[in-house]
Amino acid sequence: MFVLVHGAWHGAWCWEQVEHQLGELGAASVAVDLPGRSGDLQSVAALTLDSYVDHVVAAIDASPEPVVLVGHSLGGLVISQTAERIPEKISSLVYLCAMLLQDGQSTIDASVNDPDSQLMANISLDEGSAASSVAASAVRDLFYGDCTVEASDMATRLLVREPVGPASTPVNVTAERWGSVPRSYILCTQDRAISPAQQRAMIASVGVDRVVEMDSSHSPFISQPERLAALLIDLQD
């Protein structure tokens, strides 16, 4: 079973094509909608990293067997913290152009140290609601550079405000728990949100068991879902 965790401003909808392709390959999957997405009545300002982890843990608890936990972008932070909490329920971790952080480091820490990314320059913060959004004019270039215009426009319409709390919270992981779970990294070489250089730096500083590359933008679940699904399966061999 694959449990798929989206990144900032996105939702479970972004995994729809990958779920279909995994099903075609005989693999079960579930995409998690993190708190704060459309239809969630919780206050965005009150959401925390623990809120996100609680939600993912509930999805994993529904599986009778250990799962492959996949995190995209900010979702990397979430899957690391989830693995720290319940390592025995996770067979492996897959970071998809994701935040692979050292203990004590936050997503914001990593983002401000990525000079090749234009993401931070295009984020606006609503301090009253403790939420951020991305400038509409920059979304396609940052996230969907190799997607069709139609797919990019549709995805852009589905983006939501992202709670600030989770991204500003340092990850708390240990070698004994999170470090006991095998982990792989899918590096996206056309990524303009988390630059390839930053992805390589995180891999070098934290370490993973396997690295594979995709010639894709930040959103291969939209631009190359068949290839991505196949990679996810291959990484479990």
Q: Contact, 109 vs 198, CB < 8 A?
A: no
Angle, alpha carbons 233-236-237 (nearest 5°): 100
Sequence ranges of the domains in the chain = 2-234
94-115 per-position pLDDT tens digit = 999 999 999 999 998 888 888 8
Nearest to 2 by CA among 72, 49, 50: 72
Nearest to 231 by CA among 55, 36, 18, 65: 18
173-205 per-position pLDDT tens digit = 999 999 999 999 999 999 999 999 999 999 999
Amino acid at 58: A
State what percent of residues in the chain have pLDDT above 70.
Answer: 97
44-97 per-position pLDDT tens digit = 778 899 999 999 999 999 999 999 999 999 999 999 999 999 999 999 999 999
Q: Contact, 153 vs 59, CB < 8 A?
A: no
pLDDT of residue 36: 83
Average pLDDT, the chain: 94
What DSSP letter does each residue of 107-150 carry, written as one string? HHHHHHT-TT--TGGGEEEETTTTEEEE-HHHHHHHH-TTS-HH
pLDDT of residue 232: 98
Nearest to 1 by CA among 96, 71, 76, 65: 65
Which class is domain 2-234? alpha beta
14 pLDDT higher than 90: yes
